[in-house]
A and B are shown apart, each in its own frame.
Chain A
Amino acid sequence: MSLLVPDSGLLFWMVFIFGIVVFVLARFGFPVILKMVDERKAFIEDSLLMAEKARTELEKVKADSEVIIDNARKEHLRIINESNLLKEQLVKEAKVKAEQEAAKVIEEARVKIVSEKDAAMREIRREVAALSVDIAEKVLKSKLASGDEQEEMINKLLDEITISKS
């Protein structure tokens, strides 16, 4: 059964070489690899966490900006509405004022017209009175040469006046 009896020479070499292999690999080989893999794992985990944090922060910023934009839009709307109102009011006021002004001008014009008319009427009357006095004077001067004629004349005139008056 030589297969189950370890050979001393091979045993010696096996101890020697396995010893070297274990010494080298368990010191400079596997620990380096395991350490780096661990470090890389930690690094990746950190990076993921940071990315997650950055994402939430970004979301927050996004939400903030949305609020800001929303507010701005509301403000904008409000200002437009306000200005619209103001405009309408102004236009209305202007209209009212213009109407008032116009009414005033018309009123003044009417008053002036009336007074002008009265004045004109008065003038005309005075003119007519003066003219009639003149006419009467001339008529009287020419007709009142004879007594009869005068009398007749006076009567005629009186008739006329009374007729016109009745």
Chain B
Amino acid sequence: MKAILRKLTILFVGALLPALTYAADNHESAVSTHDKSEEFNVRDFILEHIADAYTWHITKIGEHDIAVPLPVIVRSHNSGWQVFMSSALAEGKHYKGLYISESEQYKGKIVELTDVGKEVRPLDISITKNVFTLILSAVILIFLILFVAKSYKGGFAVKSKFVCFMEMFIMMIHDDVIKPCVGKHYKEYAPYLLTLFFFIFINNMMGVIPIFPFGANLTGNIAFTFVLALVTFVIVNVSGTREYWKEIFWPDVPMPLKFPVPFFPLLELISVFTKPFALMIRLLANMMAGHTIVLGLVCMIFLTTSMGRAANTSLTFVSVILSVFISFVELLVAFIQAYIFTLLSAVYIGLAKAEPHHK
């Protein structure tokens, strides 16, 4: 094992690094010829990669983009519903008045021009990179869990290793997170919370794998976390007991703190909204930060091309080592964030199920 590792390292340093630096050289020249800009723009590079996109850009060989086109579904103000492949908009092309904006406000989004020449967004439900990932992960997850569920139909016979592993995983979340956090009524909420956990987890994991069709920054997208937080918010407040609402509007604090000026009730009311908001931002920020760090480290390779071969090669080595390390951390974070989101959702539901204190 050690010997293999050493050989791989030598191979890597000997063959791959020059190739990488060569690629970086090429990229540099391509960028400079394309944009006529002197500096490789790290900020744009990273933002472009963590943002959503209409095509799945894989690489660029010479002047040609290698990208997987994805379907665009828009409802134009001028021409109604339009469904076409995003390759029709590649490299600034227009399709029936629709094009990808370069302006500050709608950068990278499909826009069209109104009669007065103003850019507006059509109603846009395209299957973007993130939507594609979302559908893919949903299909994988549904198949996975239904497969596991199906294998339980045959009685108590010994299951395959994979099913046993999944059972262990599911029961860990169920017994260690949901049961103690939600409390007495955990049975009603367990299916939703388990779905929540595995949905976040599988999407996080798919974000960590950098090869097509994975690697989209879906869980680092606000729309994703917003919907999850919203669902949790609705469930928490719909299942709130009388005691829960009483504790918000008439908490157990000295009278002056709640009567003439409802200071505590106000605080409590704010916390009703900050809880899901914190859920939303936490997942978003963690996943986005992970992607950003890896991308930033990769950028180091391109940034140092101008510093000469030697510096570039050595920094490439450092960058790759660090990227690998951060990717492992990301694997951990992928689990931890899914775990925390589920845990806190369970805790909030548990709090909403508050029962009157025993006096």
Q: Report B172-201 CB contacts with A as 1/0, cut-off 8 Å.
A: 001000000000000000111011101100
Q: Which residue of B lies closest to A13 (CB)?
A: B131
Within 8 A of B (CB), among A42-92: 43
User: Is A4's CB under 8 angstroms from B222's CB?
Assistant: yes
Q: Which residue of B lies closest to A18 (CB)?
A: B227
Q: How far is the CB of B322 from chain A (nearest CB, A)?
A: 24
Q: Report A1-34 CB contacts with B as 1/0, cut-off 8 Å.
A: 0111111111111110110111011111111111
Q: How far is the CB of A51 from chain B (nearest CB, A)?
A: 16
Query: For A4, A6, A15, which residue has the most chain B Cβ atoms within 10 angstroms?
Result: A6
B52 within 8 A of A: yes
Q: Which residues of A contact B149 (CB under 8 A)?
A: 28-30, 32-33
Contact of B228 among A3, A18, A27 (CB under 8 A): A18
B11 within 8 A of A: no
Within 8 A of B (CB), among A90-140: none
Q: Which residues of A contact B127 (CB under 8 A)?
A: 13
Q: Which residues of A contact B227 (CB under 8 A)?
A: 11, 14-15, 18
A37 within 8 A of B: yes
Known: A9-B126, A22-B192, A30-B195. A3 touches B171 (CB 8 A): no
Q: Which residue of B lies closest to A8 (CB)?
A: B124
User: Is B52's CB under 8 angstroms from A7's CB?
Assistant: yes
Contact of A21 among B171, B195, B223 (CB under 8 A): B195
Q: Which residues of B contact A157 (CB under 8 A)?
A: none
User: Is B134's CB under 8 angstroms from A14's CB?
Assistant: yes
Q: Which residues of A contact B134 (CB under 8 A)?
A: 10, 13-14, 17
User: Is A21's CB under 8 angstroms from B130's CB?
Assistant: no
User: Is A6's CB under 8 angstroms from B226's CB?
Assistant: yes
Q: Which residues of A contact B231 (CB under 8 A)?
A: 18, 22
A156 within 8 A of B: no
Known: A3-B51, A13-B125. A33 touches B152 (CB 8 A): yes
Q: Which residues of A contact B222 (CB under 8 A)?
A: 3-6
The docked-state distance in angstroms from the alpha carbon of A33 to that of B228 is 23
Q: Which residues of A contact B194 (CB under 8 A)?
A: 25-26, 30
User: Is A25's CB under 8 angstroms from B145's CB?
Assistant: yes
User: Is B130's CB under 8 angstroms from A10's CB?
Assistant: yes
Chain B residues within 8 Å of chain A by Cβ, number = 47
The A contact surface, by secondary structure, is helix
User: Is B226's CB under 8 angstroms from A11's CB?
Assistant: yes
Q: Which residues of A contact B126 (CB under 8 A)?
A: 9
Known: A18-B231, A30-B145, A32-B152. A10 touches B221 (CB 8 A): yes
Q: Which residues of B contact A39 (CB under 8 A)?
A: 156
Q: Which residues of A contact B321 (CB under 8 A)?
A: none
User: Is A17's CB under 8 angstroms from B138's CB?
Assistant: yes
The docked-state distance in angstroms from the alpha carbon of A29 to that of B222 is 27
User: Is A43's CB under 8 angstroms from B156's CB?
Assistant: yes
Q: Which residue of A lies closest to B110 (CB)?
A: A9
Q: Report B109-135 CB contacts with A as 1/0, cut-off 8 Å.
A: 100000000000001111110110011
User: Is A33's CB under 8 angstroms from B130's CB?
Assistant: no
The docked-state distance in angstroms from the alpha carbon of A37 to that of B50 is 40
User: Is B170's CB under 8 angstroms from A14's CB?
Assistant: no
User: Is A25's CB under 8 angstroms from B191's CB?
Assistant: yes
A36 within 8 A of B: yes
The docked-state distance in angstroms from the alpha carbon of A31 to that of B193 is 12
Q: How far is the CB of A27 from chain B (nearest CB, A)?
A: 7
Q: Which residues of B contact A30 (CB under 8 A)?
A: 145, 149, 170, 190-191, 194-195
User: Is A29's CB under 8 angstroms from B223's CB?
Assistant: no
Q: How far is the CB of A155 from chain B (nearest CB, A)?
A: 147
Known: A2-B51, A10-B128. A29 touches B152 (CB 8 A): no
The docked-state distance in angstroms from the alpha carbon of A35 to that of B130 is 34
User: Is A37's CB under 8 angstroms from B171's CB?
Assistant: yes
User: Is B135's CB under 8 angstroms from A17's CB?
Assistant: yes
Within 8 A of A (CB), among B20-53: 47, 50-52
Residue contacts A-B, CB under 8 angstroms, 26 given: A7-B109, A10-B52, A10-B134, A13-B135, A20-B138, A21-B141, A21-B195, A22-B195, A22-B231, A24-B146, A25-B142, A25-B194, A25-B195, A25-B198, A26-B194, A26-B195, A29-B149, A29-B191, A30-B145, A30-B149, A30-B190, A30-B191, A32-B152, A33-B170, A34-B170, A43-B156
